[in-house]
Structure 1
Amino acid sequence: MSARKKMTRLIQIGLSHGEKAKRLSEKGYYAEALEELDIALSAFCEQNKDGSWDNAIAGILNNIGFVSILLNKYEDAANAFLESLKIKSNLDNNDNILGTLTGLSEAYRCLCEHEAAIECIEDAFELAIALKENDIAFKLLQQYDKIERSKNRFPDMNYLAADYDEIYLPELSADISAVIRNINLKVLSPDTLKIDMVIGFPGLKNDLADIRKKWQMDSVTKYGSLYRIFPCLFLLFPQAVAEEVTDLSVVNEEETPVSSSSAYFNGNIYEPGSYHRSGPQAMPEFNSYTYCGGKGALIEWDIEANGWYHLSVEIKLEKNDKNIDLTIVLPFGSSHISKISMDPGKHETYRSLRIDAGKFYDTDINSLLNFRPENVIYSDERKLYEGSLNDIFEINADISQKYCVLSFRILC
């Protein structure tokens, strides 16, 4: 009699905490739900002396697996599903195994164990066909597609274009090294800024024409981006500033003009290897959104193997104050900058200058990607200079940076 009361008490505890976990999970309290599920599992396991509660335990393990995925505890999720699968296999109940295999596949996807994830889907698909579960079989094909998209960092099948610009830099850009002999900023007037740059690509074995063609094709077919202009340089400003490129010229080392163009840009630039903004969720381990965000001008010119260029850009600015904020983004795997110089001109008294070197921002928070910030998004790495600015200024920067970001703040 006491054994029967003990069983009733334990099972009531398990059922009670299981129901509480369900309610908490429905409200989005996943951590609290997981705690309740652990209590329920402990109660059922203590009572399960003869295996009569195996099916209930397997069900709780399944729930633990799915909640753990929502909490980004992918290893714990995989272990829970594996334990559940072991129990269900002994029960010889194929209907119940389908959900567990699907959950295990998702856990493996999030652990970047893609082959194991595909193997689970293949086993589940074969079982679904044998059971004539056609609807489940179709969902399993969708899961297979999700694994492939996640593996290749593609958008999911329900991808919707953003209401801002997006550029996914080509993977081959990681192998491009740029050498910048000098970057010179000159204030031509209170509302006109000139940027001169001497930039070369020693060691570049091929012209960028082939990379451009492949990137333009991939931009549409793989990443959902419709951008046609190849990114060689970005000049970004705060959202409150209106800017217009009024003059652009590029010449090679023989002083021969090189074909060049500019385009308005307002959005995010993604580093190769970044997870896609609309990539399958949950985001797998060891993945992140790596990007720089802002508005301004995208500059393109024909870059040849081992080419050297003098780039000159004039930009007209409309802003509420006389201060100037400029961010230069060099979209190459490596950029070495030797010198930076600044001519404040004679039109205004610019008293101070700050120059920072940085890199693309790295985060796993998707909501930031849908946010139009007041200023440019990037990660500070190193302050190159901060001080007075009374006349023509020059520093030996001597920095090398992957996907380099340079920030200039010129204050009156």
Structure 2
Amino acid sequence: MTKRIVVTGIGATSALGGTAPENWTNLLAGMSGTRTLPHEWIEKYQIPVHFAAEATVRPEEVLPRHEAKRLDPSTQFALIAAREAWEDAGSPDVAPERLGIDWATGIGGVWTLLDAWDTLREKGPRRVMPLTVPMLMPNAGAGNLSLQFNAKAFARTVVSACASSTESIVNAYEHLQDGLADVVIAGGAESAIHPITMASFSSAQALSRRNDDPATASRPGAIDRDGFVMGEGGAALVLETEEHAQARGAKIYAYLVGGGVTADSHHITGNDPEGLGAARAVEQALAQAGATADDVSHINAHATSTPVGDPNEYVALKRVFGDRIDAIPVSATKASTGHLLGGTGALEAVYTILALRDRIAPPTINMTEPDPAVPFKLSGDAQPLGDGDLLAISNSFGFGGHNAVVAFRSA
């Protein structure tokens, strides 16, 4: 028997704000979180891109110093987002053996790893912190959340590049369906605005180079888009079986009704131009939801603002929705938040849930001239979603050919 899975708590920290409500308010207001970076390493290493979407609220402003110093920034963001979501859910009273963690990151503790390497080279092995490995490992987020919330059912980690945290939500759905837990904290976090990643993505010509106008650099669907903007932060969902949530009188934001995970097997960085894998992920999510393409009311697109990625996503969705894709309200929220890599899917899931709650698709900023190859129904203004039962999907695609899609219904 299929269980109904509900969202009872959300948390988010990004370039648009330190909490989920701040994120949503600033997203609807059309704010850009992209700014010129003030760090000396931009000049020191001659990084060609001078801007990114750094989190507005720094972790050290939220976490006690003794706690923050033992965590990589990616785990700091994980803890902040998950604590907000847990409190928002009413801090569920659940047996530790029935509480699970499904967490994600795309890169993990890059700051810890490279800071430790600098320390080793400059000061020798005795000065390398003994907690370096527990801080840099990709599963540090899941492990620390398990400790924080006394979650003993499982603490699992997905590392699937930019599809990571969407895949973690799909996993949480399946784990709840399989009866492995009654409550799961799912999501992802990333903190990779670092000289090495900025230099690497720049060398790959993946980043926008609009140093003179960073706030408008990310332009999904626009004909003059020239790459994505690096972002950082984290987002978390508290997911429960409906039975468990109702028994404790929890508020319900939305229903998580399905997910799909596929692989392109096409190219290590480029997605399939025919969109076959991405389309199958959407179809899997809809099938699990007991829905058809005609039922979808809203799409939060992956839409990174890269010249190749945006039209490939359109091709994939055209396979699923046919001509109807041109009429479905689509939001490309990375224009506002930047691209959080492994954390981006969870943040966009939060936005999708709030879009269903408020029955409004958030605006896509920086819309200049639309690209005829990407004729999504994008709007610089929020788009109403109407009345009745609403179904929305959120897409994530990552290096390695990873595709992940989640589907939510309005509560």
Q: TM-score scaled to structure 1, two decimals?
A: 0.26
Q: Which structure's relative contact order is higher, taking Cα pairs within 8 Å and 6+ residues apart?
A: 2
Q: If each structure's strand is expressed as a fraction of its own residues, which one has the higher value?
A: 1
How high is the TM-score relative to the length of structure 2?
0.26
